[in-house]
Amino acid sequence: MIKVEHVTKRYEGMTAVDDLDFEVLPGVVTGFLGPNGSGKSTTMRIILGLDHPTKGQATVKGKRYQELRDPLHEVGALLDAKAIHPGRTARNHLRALAASNRIPYKRVDEVLEFAGISSVAHKRVGNFSLGMSQRLGIAAALLGDPEVLLFDEPVNGLDPEGIRWIREFFRSLANEGRTVFVSSHLMSEMAVSADQIIVIGRGKFITQGSIDSLTATAKGTVFVRGANHQQLLSALRAKNATVSELNDEALSVSDLSAEEVGQIAFDAGVALFELTPQRASLEDVFMDLTADSVEYGSSGVRHEQ
Amino acid sequence: MNSDTTLGSVVRSEWLKFRSVRSSIWCVVVTFVLTIGLGVLVTTVVRVQWHKMSTINKLTFDPVQTSLVGIVFAQFAVGVIGSLFITSEYSTGAIRSTLAAVPNRIQLIAGKLIVLVSCMLVIGEVASFGAFFIGQAIYSGVVPTASLSDGAVLRTVIFAGLYLTLLAALSFTLGLLIRHSLAAISIFVSILLILPLILAFLPQSWQNDTVRFLPGEGLGHAMTSVQPGPNLFSPWMSFGILTLYVVVLVAISTSSFLRRDA
């Protein structure tokens, strides 16, 4: 279990992480979602004791990372797959990590086999593709057979087969009762691989919950088309609804249910041709939640659906 | 599994890291080539030229120092070894997986220093004794030779290896402070080469009082001389001061390492 308790991290005037407070529970895959630059990696580095929080603390199984007696036996992490000495072979890289935590070398060959990179174990890491490096990083995370696993953007650079492999792998780790914490900036990826999601933006906590509960709480819209466009519009606006005109005859209404919109139209004496509740997609939810907190947003460029 | 990370396991890990990259192996080879190779070159030239040398030169001739001349060049190679041992962790980003495995930062630095100092002690002494023996063998029969049975000679050869070891450790601490290979090595080289040049602009009396404190021209020169010049500290004193520099720099760089983010 991972506990992040009111963690704040400031770098020379810039707040990277702002009072984050959440728990990551065992037995499920927890997604850590936020736009690029929202503080996900910083939070993970603080959990691993690499960066010192300005305020608050992070603990793993009730202890600060620095207090863990056998860190690799407790926590496995993949932060940046390319952050390895390029001149060392994959096997020697893992052996050096294993030696520091007194893990037998036999285990190195096991995790190499598991990650599917036994055949390149004697090759220098500098020649590895990003996908191979990701697999090596996963092998390293598994070395000590830890109960808690952290992965920072693990699907980057993986081919479709690798992505499927890693999703099933996360699932099986969680099914074994382990704590699996996976960051991503891609909502669609989280939707298929995570059970629980923690959303942050600009270092701030935004929301937390299951995929279903997140979509449920998200504001859906109602698509409506009626006989008298202008009359319908003013009737809805009179009820303080947020209405946007999609074209000359269609409206999109937020804040109201389809039933309410129908009733308003009826009271105003406007015949309806079409009345459709529209459920927000996960992408919409994410865009909606993080709209104010995108560090490098593209303004003026419209995304065509 | 109730094993916990100990200094011993950190040392094993760091030793594996040290010998599993080509750059360390190359630097070690360069250290040997410079120390022994240049020693062979210089002693051979001396042997060939000996009959042309003046009586004064012959009387003040030091067979030990001339055979150890390669140390002056090897000191840069060992500086690179010491610096890269820590800066390569930063340039590659590997410091993060290293610290995730060994979160006790004092233990990590202790382990790295044990590996570095032990390796450099062996490399430095082998290079130094090798250069000495080969140099004396080249001199024998033509040029007066020195023998290790002379205590001052034995001390000088041992100190030459120790000097290289201490320099590697000093360079390591600069790397730990600066975290950037090129910058750290540049500063190391500047201390050895540029600092004496700056001091050369000072009045002679100031130079006489300050040069002896310089790691290379002062302390290193005294440590590798049988009979150091009048403005230098004694070899033992120089060894002590250089060790003190290293200890202070280890303390400063480690405390900075403890405070900073990885």
Instruction: Tell which CATH architecture fits domain A2-216.
Output: 3-Layer(aba) Sandwich (3.40)
Q: Identify which of B10, B102, B261 has the shortest CB distance to residue A52.
A: B261
Report residue B164 as tokens. Answer: 């290289």
More confident residue, A234 or A108: A108
For residue B182, give its domain range: 7-190
pLDDT tens column, A222-244: 899 988 888 888 888 888 888 88
Report chain A residues whose CB lies below 8 A from the CB of B9.
99-102
Terminal C-alpha separation, chain A: 39
pLDDT over 60 (residue A298):
no
Q: How confident is the model at residue A254 (pLDDT cuts 50, 70, 90)?
A: confident
pLDDT score of A295: 54
Nearest to B235 by CA among B159, B124, B174, B149: B159
At A239, the amino acid letter reads K
pLDDT over 50 (residue A94):
yes
Least confident of A18-22, A268-272, B113-117, B254-258: A268-272
Report chain A residues whose CB lies below 8 A from the CB of B94.
83-85
Residue B193 CA neighbour count, 13 Å, CB half: 11
pLDDT over 70 (residue A302):
no
DSSP one-letter code for A293? G
Under DSSP, is residue B187 helix (H, G, I), strand (E, B) or coil?
helix
B5: closest CA of chain A, how far (Å): 5
**Which part of chain A is CATH 3.40.50.300?**
2-216
pLDDT score of A217: 66
Taking the C-alpha atoms of residue B237 and residue A99, their distance in angstroms, rounded to an integer, is 39
Number of other CB atoms surrounding residue B156 within 10 Å: 26
Contacts of A305 (CB under 8 A, 6+ apart): none
Q: What is the mean pLDDT of residues A81-94?
A: 94
A68 touches chain B (CB under 8 A): yes
Number of folded domains in chain B? Answer: 1
The answer to the question of residue B101 being in a domain is yes
Q: Chain B residue closest to A86 (CA)?
A: B92
pLDDT score of A286: 74
pLDDT score of A247: 81
**Which part of chain A is CATH 3.30.70.250?**
219-279
A126 touches chain B (CB under 8 A): no
pLDDT tens column, B196-237: 999 889 898 888 889 999 999 999 999 999 989 889 999 999
pLDDT over 60 (residue A219):
yes
pLDDT over 60 (residue A176):
yes
pLDDT score of A282: 66
Q: Chain A residue closest to B261 (CA)?
A: A51
Percent of chain A residues topping a pLDDT of 90: 57
Q: What is the mean pLDDT of each run of 10 residues along chain B (262 residues)?
A: 70 96 92 95 95 89 93 95 96 95 95 97 97 96 92 96 97 97 96 91 89 94 91 95 98 97 90
At B11, the amino acid letter reads V
Instruction: Tell which CATH architecture fits domain A219-279.
Output: 2-Layer Sandwich (3.30)
Cβ contact (<8 Å) for A100 and B5? yes
pLDDT over 80 (residue A301):
no
A286: closest CA of chain B, how far (Å): 30
